[in-house]
Structure 1
């Protein structure tokens, strides 16, 4: 081998050998790894700290179903309930917490997918969503319209949930029931039984008054069907909830409150096509008093 003049016992030679062949010594590898990890750590902190509102309004609406002003409104509204109690530098802000929950409500995707999108752990995603839907329950009565002595329409929408373990699984199967109302008439589809205070369509209407009655009832009920369509279109999580039944109830309430807020603030609503009525059979047979009341309504309207 050619002698380059470097002596192993010389200090200068030893230094050059370490520089030209860094794998001879462990220290350069350790230092390099530390530098790389430091860069990754800085980048992650910066990503975690990015402002969720630093995007175009169109992106925010598509991602969170609310505009920038709407998200700011929600952040201010929910801040007393969801703000972090810790002062650690990496604690989530209220805006981040709200946006994490909104992303889950809007997409209905898995928690780890939300975490990947927001650059946080799955456990933090779960905690944020829970804080937000429990906070929204405080505003249910305040943001739900209530008018005395006004009778409206009623409908049912099925939201699939994860079956709970244990022998009581059958208790959580959706069934259409009847809710009693007084001093007025409720309207429903054929999934309900016709009663004196609850009008449903004729199953096989005759041409003329009965057909016009069915058409008028369908036009009136279209509003509640449109509402359910907008609610599920805005918050895709309501198409299938993979959570325990008690948490499913809280999430449904939270989405209803958010829908009312979005409606009041005139946020952009999803386009919904009214679906034709299903060919449903009532859970209970039509009551004679209900059929008689329906016939009277048809008779009264045919006289005009």
Structure 2
């Protein structure tokens, strides 16, 4: 094996060996304190700043802290950081354990504690707008993007790959591309805060069918919300979901499509940030029910990060090349779309 010092000047080799061996003046990190890393490394390892991690620890402490330190029980900070490292890296549990100097079973318990605790905050951090001041603020923010009126949120579904499940119903998770996944429905506002999420749909369900079966659809259909959603061409147009013209005429319809594409862009950005910030979502090697809980936990973390203005990951927004074809047999009501075209884009 070649010496790592072969490229060094001969006269400096002894000094280099001594410097590397003793690391004069270097401060060793306290292994009991995951926050002893520099800020840049915290962001790299955990996707949150030091203040952000402390905020999450304070939030989850009543749900995950051990009452005693018997048997060297992990601290709340250690437990949270183990889970954040898994969410951020998506590596195998033993890899995370090696990095944190813990056995695989401890890593698994910590991750499960944290994602179940985060799931309890879904109704706190993911709330569809209902109260007038917040509703108007969201509409104004969307209107400022491209002049598209009355928008409450941008809607889309995203596939999150899982390992092939076994048992009855496993085939439902096989998507149209031949891999197993969850099809997760999300709605966000103009600032990329998620306002609605449903993680229960298997990969085989079409986006438009998932929406029609969702609680949010029922609420909109019953007139519980004053406004519309914007979606892509995979959805059927209704009076409360605006979708593009598939073959627009030049002029108002083309202008409408352009404004709609810009207005719904935040959901593409949101999904991109979610998957890039939490690499575990690119392949969840767990059963579907646990995968659903992990996705839900990551959406809560995404909103915490967005609200606290944590550093957002760089993403490349995906095009609509992989758009699911529209089911032509779904109910279609374009009267609301025609009204918007005539009122705002003619």
Q: State the TM-score, normalized to the length of structure 2.
A: 0.69
CA deviation map 1:174-212 (0-9, x unaligned): 221224223432211111122233221111222211111
Greater shift, 148-157 or 241-250, is seen at 148-157
Per the alignment, residue 34 of structure 1 pairs with: none
**Alignment of structure 1 residues 263-278 onto 2, 5 Å:** 263-278=306-321
Report deviation, 1:270. 0.5
Matched-pair contact (CA < 8 Å) for 1:193–1:282:
yes
Distance in 2 (alpha carbons) for counterparts of 1:131 and 1:47: 26
Change in CA separation of 1:171 and 1:48 when aligned onto 2, cut-off 3 Å = farther
Q: Structure 1 residue 86: deviation in Å?
A: 4.4
Higher strand proportion: 2
Matches of 2:293 and 2:30 in 1, distance apart? 27
Shifted more, 254-263 versus 146-155: the winner is 146-155
Deviations 1:140-168 (A, max 9, x none): 21222442164322111111112221131
- As a proportion of its length, which structure holds more helix? 1
Alignment root-mean-square deviation, CA: 2.1
Q: Counterpart of 1:293? A: 336
- Structure 2, unmatched stretches of 5+, are 1-27, 136-151, 174-201
Which residue is equivalent to 1:166? 167
User: Equivalences for 1:91-240 in 2 at 5 Å?
Assistant: 91-148=73-130, 150=135, 151-172=152-173, 173-174=202-203, 175=205, 176=207, 177=209, 178-179=211-212, 180=217, 181=220, 182=223, 183-240=226-283
**Are 2:228 and 1:246 aligned?**
no
State the aligned residue count.
257
Asked whether the 8 Å contact 2:88–2:277 carries over to 1, the reply is yes
Consecutive unaligned residues of structure 1, counting only runs of 5 or more, are 1-45
- Displacement, 1:97? 0.6
TM-score in terms of structure 1 length:
0.78
| Structure 2: distance between partners of 1:47 and 1:115 | 17
